[in-house]
Amino acid sequence: MRVVRSQPVSTKHKTYQRDLILTILLIGAGLVLLLMLSIGLIPIDSLIFWFVILIAGVLLVAGIICSQAVVTYRQNTELQDKISDILEANLGNEFIYLRNLLLPGVKSVGEIDGVLLGPPGAVVIQIELSKGDFAIEGDTWYRYLRGRVAAPDPKPLSQQFKAAIPATEPRRRLDDSPTWACIRVAREVKAWLSVRRLPQVVVHPMVILGKGRIRQLKRPSAPAVELDNLEDFIKRNFLNHLTPAEGEILPEVTVEQIATRLQSNGN
């Protein structure tokens, strides 16, 4: 399998470089101001002293916020590398994986984590960085919270059966469903391909959890796979080359043609 970085310098990488520079400048400036205060360059009994403390605090908080974006990007990059390694180790030369893809002429979906092209069609991959345990019911995601809710006291008549009433764990619904977000991107990719005189391509969405765990899974519209289980998922779904429900098995030359068009700057 061939891994292609769709852009020499991705949009996310440019943002990362900006955030890294801002982090260094903001935290550095805040620390310099605190150093000036600590060595007594500004009298402690002056109004300027407290003004400088305020400015230093604002700079440090802003720097920490920027640093969180830097950490998130680095985590995403590490996960991208792991996913690329797993795909390369299990898929043949008939597959092409496009990383950090910007769909030419489409700005609504932003930068796509990855698109896997091969004989079965195209798979749009979205990486979910959130930690924790999840329940996925359809396209609604819930994250389990820490702690447990105590089970209710049994009614007097039910005590004779000594039936254990299981405690339920608190959980919170995610504001944006990762599977539904990935489905929207997959639809944009399919629409883009369908109007460019290319063979009809089956486009599937897939969410990969880099750090989270799936505790419950009930009929999601798109597969959600833990990173640790990705290799098994690939072997079950990508290696049989069965004819998809729509479209057709794509020959290598067509896969190469689609990959070239996806990387083009024009429409």
The two tokens of residue 247 are 């479209």
- pTM as predicted: 0.79
pLDDT in tens, 107-155: 778 889 999 999 888 999 999 988 999 999 999 999 998 754 444 445 5
Whether 267 shows a pLDDT value over 60: the answer reads no
Q: Which one is predicted more confidently, 46 or 222?
A: 222
Assign 75 to helix, strand or coil: helix
216 falls in which pLDDT band (50, 70, 90)?
very high
Residues 79 and 130: their CA atoms lie apart, in Å, by 12
Residues 213 and 144: their CA atoms lie apart, in Å, by 10
